[in-house]
Amino acid sequence: MTDKVVVITGGSRGIGRATAIAAAARGFRVVVGYVSNKTAADEVVAEIAASNGKAIAVKCDVAEESDILALFKAADAFGTLGALVNNGGIVGQSGVRVDEMSAERIQRVMAVNVTGSILCAREAVKRMSTKHGGKGGVIVNLSSVAARLGAPNTYVDYAASKGAVDSFTVGLGHEVAGEGIRVAAIRPGLIDTEIHAAGGEPDRAHRLAHMVPMKRVGTADEVANAIVWLMSDDASYVTSAILDVSGGR
């Protein structure tokens, strides 16, 4: 699959980073999308290159359509698009109730987590759909168990955005199933990544680990393994599906 390119948004850290490395190990050329941390993105590219893989880093805020267009233009120059991982996502400050949220916070969360994912998928479908002369491919969206749990008193807006991702996954999957494209989503549970620090609670995952039936947090690698399985031919009959990677939570 050395001619196949995967675009991974939010690919410089956490689940995105682990997915980039795992995809490269399976022969994908990797486009690492990142918002601001160029150093971290370059480190991912260097790690992939050290293992004889191919990767590039492209700055992209998925809340900006122009950035998304530039990201896919870079991917076009790198090879044939075979997969998209919509991993870019944000949370607002944790512990904020809905009656305390600003419009700006809600709009930013939706712009990144929902609109950004849909626009990236739009660009991927244009390239991968047999209707448009493409060779097919896979789109994997990153949801969250928060979509089921609602995240009350924590970040209901984030949970709502991931509920939208779930609906989008099912609908788009049906829309392009006959055009060589499979669409699926992963719903991670409590995973040991930096997103909790971004919400102001760096120890949140470990603090809540007792609520997980497995009694532990998950790792970015465990989520990445599920993502690259969905990207592989081993998942050839899987579409419009949502897989929980949550230790049973």
Q: Which residue bears the tokens 């949220």?
A: 101
210/103 Cα distance (integer angstroms): 34
Residue 206, pLDDT score: 81
Q: What is the CATH number of domain 4-245?
A: 3.40.50.720
Q: For residue 47, how many other CB atoms are within 10 A of its CB? A: 15
56/49 Cα distance (integer angstroms): 10
Going residue by residue through the chain (249 aa), what tens digit of pLDDT does each one get?
A: 457 999 999 999 999 999 999 999 999 999 999 999 999 999 999 999 999 999 999 999 999 999 999 999 999 999 999 999 999 999 999 999 999 999 999 999 999 999 999 999 999 999 999 999 999 999 999 999 999 999 999 999 999 999 999 999 999 999 999 999 999 999 999 998 876 556 666 677 788 888 899 999 999 999 999 999 999 999 999 999 999 999 999
**Angle made by CA atoms 232, 235, 239, in degrees to the nearest 5:** 115
Cβ-Cβ contacts under 8 Å for 78 (sequence gap 6 or more): 5, 29, 31, 54, 56
Two structure tokens written together for 100: 């305390």
Q: Report yes or no: 114 and 144 within 8 Å, Cβ to Cβ.
A: no
What torsion do the CA atoms of 78, 137, 3, 32 make, to the nearest 10 degrees?
Answer: 40
Cβ-Cβ contacts under 8 Å for 169 (sequence gap 6 or more): 141, 143, 183, 184, 185, 240, 241, 242
Q: Report yes or no: 166 and 242 within 8 Å, Cβ to Cβ.
A: yes
| DSSP letters for 131-155 | GGT---EEEEEE--THHHH--TTT-
Q: How many residues are recorded in the chain?
A: 249
pTM above 0.85, yes or no: yes
Domain boundaries, the chain: 4-245
Two structure tokens written together for 197: 């620090």
Q: At what angle do helices 156-176 and 103-110 cross, to 10 degrees?
A: 30
Catalytic residues: 158
Residue 92, pLDDT score: 93
Residue 195, pLDDT score: 63
Residue 198, pLDDT score: 62
Residue 111, pLDDT score: 98
Two structure tokens written together for 147: 């979509």
